[in-house]
């Protein structure tokens, strides 16, 4: 994911910046009760997960001995 996408993380995930393209605003209460609105902490946790997975994929692509599954 390019740096610009990380810089606009809150706007994308909590602010509905891509609603016109079809991505809902996860910072608002939803019409489906099983979907809870996300907090800033949730957004941070998801971003940390995305970054960790990206590093994992990068290390695997380089054949690094430190790569984990
Ligand atoms: C917590 C879950 C999600 C996260 C963290 C997330 C995050 C993102 C990010 C970072 C981007 C790229 C924005 C950019 O590059 O500026 C993006 C784009 C997009 N997302 Fe999500 N997303 C989530 C869930 C969803 C869901 C459930 C949908 C569809 C129902 C969706 C639809 C889209 C679409 C259509 C785009 C492309 C927007 C465009 O082309 O401009 N996302 N999302």
For tokens 């706007």, the residue is 11
The pLDDT score that the predictor gives to residue 56 is 95
Model confidence at 18, pLDDT cuts 50, 70, 90, reads very high
Q: 47, 35, 57: which is closest to 68 by C-alpha?
A: 57
Q: How far is the CA of 59 from the centre of ligand 1 (A)?
A: 24
Per-residue pLDDT, averaged over 4-31, amounts to: 95
Q: How far is the CA of 12 from the centre of ligand 1 (A)?
A: 7
What is this structure's pTM?
0.83
- The tens digit of pLDDT for each residue in 30-66 reads 888 888 999 999 999 999 999 999 999 999 999 876 6
Per-residue pLDDT, averaged over 16-37, amounts to: 91
Residues whose beta carbon lies within 6 Å of some atom of ligand 1: 5, 8, 12-13, 18, 21-24, 26, 46
How far, CA to CA in Å, does 7 sit from each of 1, 16, 25?
11, 14, 17
Question: What is the number of other CB atoms lying within 10 angstroms of the CB of residue 48?
Answer: 10
């Amino acid at each position: 994911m390019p740096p610009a996408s990380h810089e606009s993380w809150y706007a994308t995930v909590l602010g509905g910046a891509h609603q016109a393209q079809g991505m809902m605003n996860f910072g608002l209460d939803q019409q489906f009760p099983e979907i809870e609105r996300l907090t800033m902490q949730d957004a941070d946790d998801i971003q940390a997960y995305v970054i960790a997975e990206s590093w994992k994929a990068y290390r695997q692509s380089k054949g690094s001995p430190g790569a984990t599954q």
